[in-house]
Amino acid sequence: MRLSRLVVSLGLLVALGLATFVGVGSARTNATTLTIATVNNGDMIVMESLTKDFTKKYGINVKYVTLPENTLRQKVTSDVATGGGQFDIATVGTYDVPIWAKNKWLVNLQPMFSPSASKAYDLNDVIPKVRLGLSYQNNLYALPFYGESSMMYYNKALFAAAGLKMPLHPTWDQVAAFAAKLNDPSKNQYGICLRALPGWGEFGAPLTTVINTFGGEWFNNSWQPQLTSPADVKAVTFYVNLLRKSGEPGATSSGFTECETAMAQGKAAMWVDATVAAGALSDPKQSKVAKDIGFAYAPTEVTPLGSHWLWSWSLGIEASSKNQAAAFKFITWATSKDYIKLVAAKNGWASVPPGTRISTYKNPAYKKAAGAFEGIVLNSMLTADPTHSTLHKVPYVGVQFVGIPEFQNIGTLVTQDLAGAVAGSTSVSAALAQAQSQVTRIMKQAGYLK
C-alpha cells in the first residue's frame, strides 16, 4: 500500500515536473516577437545591437529586417498598403507618415499615450517641428528615432594642403571651384561625393535642394511640371557636371552609405548630405579622418530657401500588426531619453541619435562632445521650412520631396532618367525632356492636370 502510494506520488511529481518544463518551454516559444523593417544606417545598426536591453526588460523578442534605403521603401510600402502584416514596426520618414496616416496604414499613437505614459516619455521634449512632421490631423503616427537636416562636410587637412578655406556659408559655385582643385583620381582622391543612386529619397533628396536654391521647383502653383524650366535645367546641369568633373567614380551607385564611407576613409574632400553623419564622421572608431572633418552649412545659390532639408527617420506601427501593444513599448523605448543615455554610455555622447529631443541639445555632455557641429545641425533643422522651400509659390509641402502620394514614383523615374546623364549615356537636356513628359502624364492620370 505504501509502495503503491509512493509510486503514485513519484508519478505525480514526474508529471508535474514535465508539465512545468513543458510550460516554461512553451512560454519561451510563445513569447511575443516583433518584426522591424529598418534602413542600414549606422544609428539603426546601433539600435539593433542594444535591443537585448529591451528584451531583458520586457521579455519581448525583436527580429530585424535591415535593408538598403531604396529596398526598404519598396518592401515596407508594399506591405503596409496591402495589409500584409510582414512587419510590426516600420522605419518611416516625414514624407510617408502623413500620407500613410490618411490611408489608415499606421496606428494612431495618440490614444496609446495615457497621461502617465505621456509624462514618462515626455512628448513635449520632442522638437515641435519634428513632431509636427510625423502628425496627421493633430495626431501623432510615428516617433522620431533621429532627425536631420543637410550640411557640408569637408576634409580640413586636404583643404589646408591646397591652401583653401571653407566658408561657414558656402555657395555652390565655391564648392564647384574647391572640388575641381581637390580632385585627384591618381591618388584615389575625389573633389566631392554626392548621391546619384536612383531613387526619390537617394538621388532625389540632395538634387531637390539644389533645384530649390537655384530658384527652381518640381511644380508651379498650377501643378505643371517644371523640369525643363530654365532654373531647373541650370540646377540639374550644375549637379551632373559637378559629379562628372570632380565626383566619385561610379556615382550612380552612390547613396548615403557609400558617400559616408568615402568621406570616412579620406577619399572624398567634400560631401553634402544628412547632418546625422556628423557623429560617425567625428568618431575615430568609425572614421579614419575623424580629426580632420570640418562642418559648414549646406551650400546656397540664388536663394537660401530649400537649400537644406528636414527629415526624420521614425518608427511607426503598421495597422496590420497583431502585436500593437508590444510594438508601442518598443518604439517608446527606442526613442526615449533613457535610450539616448544608453547609446552615450556605449559609444559616447557625440554618437547619440540627434535631432529629436530638446533635452539632448541642452545636455552639457552632448554640447561638449558635439560642439563642432551641434549648433549647425540644430539651426539647420530649426530654419528648414517645408511650407516655404522654393523661391516661387508652389502648391506642395516638403523641402527635399513633394508631399503627394505620386512623388515616390515620380522621384524615382526622374532620377533614373538623370542617372543616364551622370553616367554619360545621355545628355541632361534629353533626360529632362523625357522626365518632363513622364511626370506630365502621371499628373494628368492622377487628376492634377486636365
The answer for residues whose C-beta is within 8 angstroms of residue 206's C-beta and 6 or more apart is 150, 194, 195, 239, 272, 273, 400
**pLDDT at residue 11 in the model:** 43
Structural contact between residues 442 and 412, judged by C-beta atoms closer than 8 angstroms: no
How do residues 139-170 score in pLDDT, each as one tens digit? 999 999 999 999 999 999 999 999 999 999 99
C-alpha to C-alpha distance for 373 and 367, rounded to whole angstroms = 9
The pTM assigned to this predicted structure is 0.89
CATH topology of domain 29-148+311-369: D-Maltodextrin-Binding Protein; domain 2 (3.40.190)
Q: What average pLDDT does the chain have?
A: 92
C-alpha to C-alpha distance for 323 and 307, rounded to whole angstroms = 40
In this structure, what C-alpha cell is assigned to residue 346?
A: 556605449
CATH topology of domain 150-309+382-445: D-Maltodextrin-Binding Protein; domain 2 (3.40.190)
Residue 7 has pLDDT above 80, yes or no: no
How do residues 22-75 score in pLDDT, each as one tens digit? 333 333 446 899 999 999 888 999 999 999 999 999 999 999 999 998 899 899
% of the chain at pLDDT higher than 90: 90
**pLDDT at residue 450 in the model:** 85
How do residues 100-115 score in pLDDT, each as one tens digit? 999 999 999 999 999 9
Lowest mean pLDDT among 117-131, 231-245, 430-444: 117-131
Lowest mean pLDDT among 14-23, 83-92, 300-309, 390-399: 14-23
Other CB atoms within 10 A of residue 244 CB: 14
Specify the DSSP element, H or E, that contains 296.
strand 293-297
Find the mean pLDDT for residues 180-207. 97
R_g (Cα) of the chain, nearest Å:
25
**pLDDT at residue 30 in the model:** 61
In this structure, what C-alpha cell is assigned to residue 427?
A: 545628355
Find the mean pLDDT for residues 238-259. 97
C-alpha to C-alpha distance for 101 and 140, rounded to whole angstroms = 9
In this structure, what C-alpha cell is assigned to residue 450?
A: 486636365
In this structure, what C-alpha cell is assigned to residue 93?
A: 520618414
Question: Which pLDDT band holds residue 208 (cuts at 50, 70, 90)?
Answer: very high
Is the Cα torsion angle 87, 92, 95, 99 positive or negative in sign? positive
Residue 8 has pLDDT above 70, yes or no: no
**All structural domains of the chain with their residue ranges:** 29-148+311-369, 150-309+382-445
Residue 20 has pLDDT above 50, yes or no: no
C-alpha to C-alpha distance for 439 and 93, rounded to whole angstroms = 23
In this structure, what C-alpha cell is assigned to residue 74?
A: 519598396
Same topology, domains 29-148+311-369 and 150-309+382-445? Answer is: yes
Lowest mean pLDDT among 5-19, 151-165, 411-425: 5-19
How do residues 334-391 score in pLDDT, each as one tens digit? 999 999 999 999 999 999 999 999 999 999 999 999 999 999 999 999 999 999 999 9
Structural contact between residues 217 and 390, judged by C-beta atoms closer than 8 angstroms: yes
